[in-house]
Chain A
Amino acid sequence: GQSLEQPSEVTAVEGAIVQINCTYQTSGFYGLSWYQQHDGGAPTFLSYNGLDGLEETGRFSSFLSRSDSYGYLLLQELQMKDSASYFCAVLFNKFYFGSGTKLNVKP
């Protein structure tokens, strides 16, 4: 299978900026997606990078560099409600998910 690595846990304060990295050991995929999952909830889609570069959606941005085999999710102006787990996933003929990063936002 494919291997995607993310930090297991990140802590930041309200109003701060946090970057969650996703490194992978694969190539030839269609794109990189990011999902958010609150405790007890289902994953929800945040962003998709089909091409290298930065995609911005409000407070969230995602970046992909195929030549460097990594991507990241950038969360700005953190809010308490951003406390959740964040998963990266690469798309081949199916999705391969990373193990997720638990983000703790503190006041």
Chain B
Amino acid sequence: ETGVTQTPRHLVMGMTNKKSLKCEQHLGHNAMYWYKQSAKKPLELMFVYSLEERVENNSVPSRFSPECPNSSHLFLHLHTLQPEDSALYLCASTSDKSGEQFFGPGTRLTVL
């Protein structure tokens, strides 16, 4: 399998649930990103991992917890989310200083 994949594609969860989003890339890239995209807003960078180390945490609430166990996998652990966290969550990967990011299809998250 090639490219960037994300699972699940759709997720509905209550505010007390705990869930995880998964991202996988088989492109040999060394940097991975989580973005949040809400309706009619620009992409908001959440986290950046470079060589499996978190290099960016963009003032994201602690109810979002990233994990990067290796260079091919990235997780976003979710707990006690709020309805305003409903959005499209996109994962992307790139090689260092490359202008091209490869995006996964995203997870459409709805928090009830």
Contact = CB atoms under 8 A, between A and B. Distances in A.
A is bound by B: yes
A50 B99 contact: yes
B31 to A, nearest CB: 9
Dominant secondary structure at the A interface: strand
A33 B92 CA distance: 14
Contact of A95 (B45, B104, B105): B45
Give the size category of B's interface with A.
10 to 19
Interface string A15-35: 000000000000000111101
A96 B99 CA distance: 11
Nearest to B90: A42
Interface of A: 30-33, 35, 41-45, 48-50, 87, 89, 91, 93-100
Interface of B: 33, 41-43, 45, 48, 55-56, 90, 97-106
